[in-house]
Structure 1
Amino acid sequence: MTERSAGEQKRLLLIDDDPNLILLVKDYLEFRGYEVITAENGREALEVLEDDIPDLIICDVMMPEMDGYSLVEHVRKDPRTSWIPVLFLSAKGQSQDRVKGLNTGADVYMVKPFEPEELVAQVEASLKHGERLTKRKDRGPDDGPKIHVPFDVELTPTELKVVQYVARGMANREIAEGLSVSQRTIESHVSNMLGKTGLHNRTELARWAIENSMA
């Protein structure tokens, strides 16, 4: 498995079944200093991830063999890849499409066509956020004893997305706005996760998510 130090060139995995888009986006990102590896669909991307862990995944939603939703579910379930920021690209721009993408586990949802500069800005913001989470996780021993929960706890894709936002320090109201649902819905998800894990509050929930590479 390929690993790089923090100071090395950032590597991005770009997944799309449109060769013209692959070419254009790859060239633009490489011009901005990124290393870009590519795949034509989700199944091919999983093969890439067996040997190479990128710093960020940029993924089309509608693809043959395995679509973006299925790919992200695989990525989030694997501890090796669960931390990787995922940026969805999609021609579907309706609110329900964005909500589905975010609930599935994507961090950013961009609608085609998009401005290249906006894509670069989203990539840079996602990478910086990932670095902040990594630094916060590395400080775990200074924050108190490791959080312990039952080994067989399973979160739904929506709960996983919510706990990632909780780990970022976002309030229920902010999470609700980000996912386009009611605050009561988010409160229900948080309550369910506290019940599943046996944890006492959002702070412990956030620490558990970070220590277990879910955020």
Structure 2
Amino acid sequence: MTILLKNILVVEDDATLRTVIEDKLTKSGYTVELAVDGKDAMDKLHAELHPDLILLDVIMPRKNGMEVLEEMHSDINLSAIPVIMLSNSGQTADKDRAKELGAKDFLMKETTDMEEILEKVQALIGGGMPMSKQDGGVPSKSRFTIDLNETVPAQNADAKKGQRLLTVEDDQFLRKLFVQKFTTAGFTVKDAEDAKEAFSILENWKPEIILLDLILPDISGFEILATLKKDERLKNIPIIILSNLGQKQDIDRAMSLGAEGFMVKASFTLEEITEHVQKVLAAHATS
């Protein structure tokens, strides 16, 4: 007997978040289509993609989530598709407008985790399967396998226990994932959403490694990197750039300013980022 899996369209402009959401839904028994922004989503929907549900970001380039909802609401072929909004904005006006346009739920990225998203999806369209029933109880391994609860191997636990990590990332949902992942891996983690908060933390706390985004709301990651490398107390802390930027000039600039490494978010899983951090710390411990 052929089982038709429920299909979900994920509309999210952040590549790392798309990967995290896609992985969770796929491992939970759904098929997933991806769109990088609202225009991409509407092009797919008009090309006869008819998902069982849409997870829709609000703030996106070209066409935002509200504009997508408005267009779907006025289209008899699309208006019945259930939509869950995912946003960094918690404005009452946004929530009310989304509800008027037919959204089934409005989730704040800052306070929502993947388990809650999955529960909302299952409540609306059913389908999926518990982790214990997938592949005989063993989660499948793929390029995008992300397990936030994976424990640190016993032989490495003592070396990493309590090592201090600062992550500077303005996306609240992604920052929360980093904190959860590295805390689970045995690190002591502090997080900042911008340069002001990062420098405030660094006044009284010295991390052993820093994960630094480049595009931030106040000053850029490049400026933070340059400032830290001129500070006698902090200049030897390894800094890994973790960004959506990936142009050669961006990589060259970061490395010339003293970055330890440069990782493009869309190219690495959380597990791979964690492993790289551990390798950098191990190298510095023996140098």
Find out whether 1:80 has 2:77 as its counterpart: yes
Asked if residue 105 in structure 1 is aligned to residue 102 in structure 2, the reply is yes
**Alignment-mate amino acid for residue 22 of structure 1:** R
Q: State the shift of 1:115 in Å.
A: 1.2
CA deviations 1:2-39 (Å, max 9, x no partner) are: xxxx9510000000110010000100110100101000
Question: Which shifted more, 119-128 or 81-90?
Answer: 119-128
Runs (4+) off by over 3 Å: none
Cα pair 1:9 1:33 within 8 Å, conserved? yes
1:21 aligns with one of 3, 17, 25: 17
Give matches, 1:3-42, under 5 Å.
8-42=4-38
Q: What TM-score does the superposition give when structure 1 sets the normalisation length?
A: 0.54
Aligned to 2:61: 64
Residues 73 and 101 in structure 2, CA contact (< 8 A), matched pair in contact too: no
Higher helix proportion (structure 1 or 2): 1
Q: How many angstroms apart in 2 are the aligned matches of 1:91 and 1:105?
A: 19
Cα RMSD of the aligned pairs, angstroms, is: 1.6
The equivalences for 1:54-203 within 5 A come to 54-113=51-110, 114-128=112-126
Does 1 or 2 have the higher relative contact order (CA < 8 Å, sep 6+)?
1
Select between 97-106 and 24-33 the one with higher mean Cα deviation: 97-106
Preserved contact between residue 42 and residue 67 of structure 1 (Cα < 8 Å): yes
Structure 2 unmatched runs, 5+: 127-287
Identity among equivalent pairs (%): 33
Does the Cα contact within 8 Å between 1:60 and 1:89 map onto a contact in 2?
yes
- The answer (yes or no) to whether the contact 1:73–1:105 under 8 Å persists in 2 is no
CA–CA distance in structure 1, aligned partners of residues 50 and 94 of structure 2 = 27
Cα distance in 2, alignment partners of residues 81 and 101 from structure 1: 15
- Separation (CA, whole Å) in 2 of partners of 1:77 and 1:96: 20
Which letter does structure 2 place at the counterpart of 1:84?
A: I
Larger Rg, first or second structure (1 or 2) = 2
Equivalenced residues, count? 123
The TM-score, its normalising length taken from structure 2, stands at: 0.41
Q: Deviations over 1:82-119 (max 9, x none)?
A: 11000000001233332222123211100013111110
Q: Kindly indicate whether the alpha-carbon contact (under 8 Å) linking 1:15 and 1:39 is maintained by their aligned counterparts in 2.
A: yes
Matched with 1:168 is none
